[in-house]
Amino acid sequence: MQFFAYYQEMHTSSWNSPRPQRSGIGTAADDGIDVISLGRRVRHLRKTAGMTLDALGEAVATAPSQLSLIENGKREPKLGMIKALAAAFGVGIDELLGAEPPSRRAALEIELERAQRGPLYQSLGLPTVRVSSRLPMDVLESLVGLQNELERRLDEQAATPEEARRANTELRDEMRSRNNYYPEIERQAQELLTAVGHVSGPLSHHVAADIAEHLGFGLRFVGDLPHSTRSVTDLKNRIIYLTQSSAADHDPRSVLLQALGHYVLGHETPVDYSDFLRQRVYTNYFAAALLMPEKDTVAFLQEAKNAKELAIEDLRDAFAVSYESAAHRFTNLATEHLGITCHFQKVHESGIIHKAYENDGVNFPADHTGAIEGQTICRYWTSREVFDVPDKFRAYDQYTDTKVGTFWCTARTERHSSGMYSLSIGIPYKDVKWFRGRDTTERSKSKCPDETCCRRPPESLSAEWGGQAWPAARANTHLLAAMPQGAFPGVDETEVYRFLEAHAGR
């Protein structure tokens, strides 16, 4: 376990970024010369020329022991020595310094030498294997193969969270560049609606089943669907299995349409997490385009805009979908058809961002990769303030002054099996005139990412309770976070201090 923890620390902190190597210790010198590769090439050229170390030493006026250090990648030759070696072998300097190993064996030797000098191998505490011409080829192949497989398996453990955040960031960049609008998916959805004769109004369960039948799929509702799945599609027999559980968090129409989306959009087995995530976003979009057809939805939104009564809950009610689905659909169409930029958030009650999108320049918190998911949102933003609002029946509206401007946001909370979440849509101040709720008197100010905004407890609470509290964190409150802050990762110290303050006098 100590080894795995060490490897993950080394991998995530230093292996993912270029790091300088000192001559004689790492694989490359400060000027970019790969000393291991150069050494193997010198050895290869020397043996090809039939020269001993002594003979080469005489030719370049250098002791054989010094040449041995060069061949083993433990010393970087100076420019004069490089020129002398090239002349002795009758090759150009570019060929001597070439990056391509001279042979398969040389490539394996270089790979093994690099691996043994890396932090992963050193953390194992194993003796170093001397890489020489006497090492059998099959042993060399096995050692390199074992090293590569170990790295691959540990990469899956250590890199997956970061790769997931990178994939989210790349996909969000794509969505922003298109204003979250995909006309090709809109077109495919409309063709299906036309094929089953759906003209207007909410998409019923019956019409959703008609779409499945039109595409040649049968439906089966079962009570033993694997707990980690929303649906299972039998492609051989063209049957889609769904659950009738009353505890389901998802609209069965949406789950069915998403399953059909994989077929209609021609998806194949995802090759990596990025591919998986992109497919999921596209199928979610496809389902929304069927549940809230573009033509009808745009007409509804345009009429509401003209009346200055835009409201996400009205879109929800008009098409009989969830508030989250209506909010997502609004982001699909608002910029393309209404000329309104916006941002969306789904935030867990712990303050961790679960989903987010923006094309209005709002300053979401992000890590060094640009990832937003897993970050803690400012406690003064609407998406956090809404949790403390007693009235859960109506949407909560608020203006928030940030370092990049003032935004108006509308939000609601919904309970899921994994806890309470807030769902919010925000827009720049200039567009608030089109929305119902613009007359709200609720206003807050956020100085994030300045730590004095909300990342530190108020001075009065810190003075009273600093060093006097020892909370035990719930693991599920920080698993998604990239790097939780504070001495107790995942614990909101302000909430802990407020809790103690409230109970101290009882």
Q: Would you state the torsion angle of the CA atoms of residues 358, 362, 368, 370, taken in this order, to the nearest 10 degrees?
A: 10
Q: Which helix (H) or strand (E) holds 443?
A: strand 443-445
pLDDT at 477 over 50: no
Architecture of the structural domain at 292-455: 2-Layer Sandwich (3.30)
The number of C-alpha atoms within 13 Å of 398 and in the hemisphere containing its C-beta is: 22
Confidence of residue 149 (pLDDT cuts 50, 70, 90): confident
Give dist(CA 111, CA 101) in Å, integer. 10
Q: Of 154, 155, 170, 157, which Cα lies nearest the Cα of 373?
A: 170
Sign of the CA dihedral running 463, 464, 469, 474: negative
The answer to whether domain 2-157 and domain 178-291 are alike in fold is no
Cis, peptide link before residue 449, omega less than 30° from 0: yes
Most confident of 135-144, 291-300, 361-370: 291-300
Give dist(CA 155, CA 16) in Å, integer. 11
- Looking at every residue in the chain, the average pLDDT score rounds to 83
DSSP 127: P
| More confident of the two residues 17 and 258 | 258
Strand pairing class (396-402; 443-445): parallel
pLDDT at 242 over 80: yes
Q: Which residues contact 38 (CB under 8 A, 6 or more apart)?
A: 70, 73, 76, 77, 96, 97
Instruction: Tell me what pLDDT residue 160 has.
Output: 56
The domain spans of the chain are 2-157, 178-291, 292-455, 467-504
Confidence of residue 506 (pLDDT cuts 50, 70, 90): low
pLDDT at 159 over 70: no
Confidence of residue 396 (pLDDT cuts 50, 70, 90): very high
Whether 380 contacts 467, CB under 8 Å: no
Most confident of 31-45, 120-134, 403-417, 489-503: 403-417
Percent pLDDT > 90 in the chain is: 46
| More confident of the two residues 274 and 436 | 436
Q: Tell me the one-letter amino acid at 58.
A: E
User: CA triplet 173, 178, 184: central angle to 5 degrees?
Assistant: 125
The topology (CATH level 3) of 178-291 is Arc Repressor Mutant, subunit A (1.10.10)
Q: What is the mean pLDDT of residues 298-306?
A: 97
CATH 1.10.260.40 fits 2-157, yes or no: yes
Whether 386 contacts 422, CB under 8 Å: yes
